[in-house]
Amino acid sequence: MTPEGRIKSQVNRVISRYKDVYKFMPVPGGFGVSSLDYLLCVNGRFVAIETKAPGKKPTDRQKMIIGQITRAGGVAFLIDGAEGLQQLEQYLERTTHAPHPDQPETQSYRRAPPRRRSEPLSECEAGDDVGHSDTDRPARTD
């Protein structure tokens, strides 16, 4: 395993401790837009992670992407060893136990509030359709 591969394995281990964290690892292939190694959704917050072998630095393109993410209000981590892993774990621990940023602390998070047609689906609404075929759902009347 490569040195960066060992770091990715450790990052995966940390993330796997938090069941409500969405993780996506884009596969670089020369098509589409570049991104970082990990894209996460943590309690409604966008988090990106770039992993490096110990002592290695991000490329100019990766620095640009990190800047775009942080300017847009996301959080970006550059992890090349134990210190970065510890910072990630502390962030996940704090963030997964914090109230969702768009909902008051006292609101139940089991069901999404009603939405207007132009609003995006919430996690609960999107999840309601998982595992159902079109024939399992009533026909739309609009």
pLDDT in tens, the chain (142 residues): 999 999 999 999 999 999 999 999 988 776 767 899 999 999 999 999 999 999 999 999 999 999 999 999 999 999 999 999 999 999 999 999 888 766 655 444 444 455 444 445 444 444 444 443 444 444 545 4
Whose structure tokens read 């990990």? 38
**How far apart, in whole angstroms, are the C-alpha atoms of residue 105 and residue 107?**
6
- With contact defined as beta carbons under 8 Å apart, do 71 and 45 qualify? no
User: Where do the domains of the chain lie?
Assistant: 3-96
Q: Under CATH, what is the fold of the domain 3-96?
A: Trna Endonuclease; Chain: A, domain 1 (3.40.1350)
**How far apart, in whole angstroms, are the C-alpha atoms of residue 47 and residue 15?**
12
Check: pTM over 0.75? Answer yes or no.
Answer: no
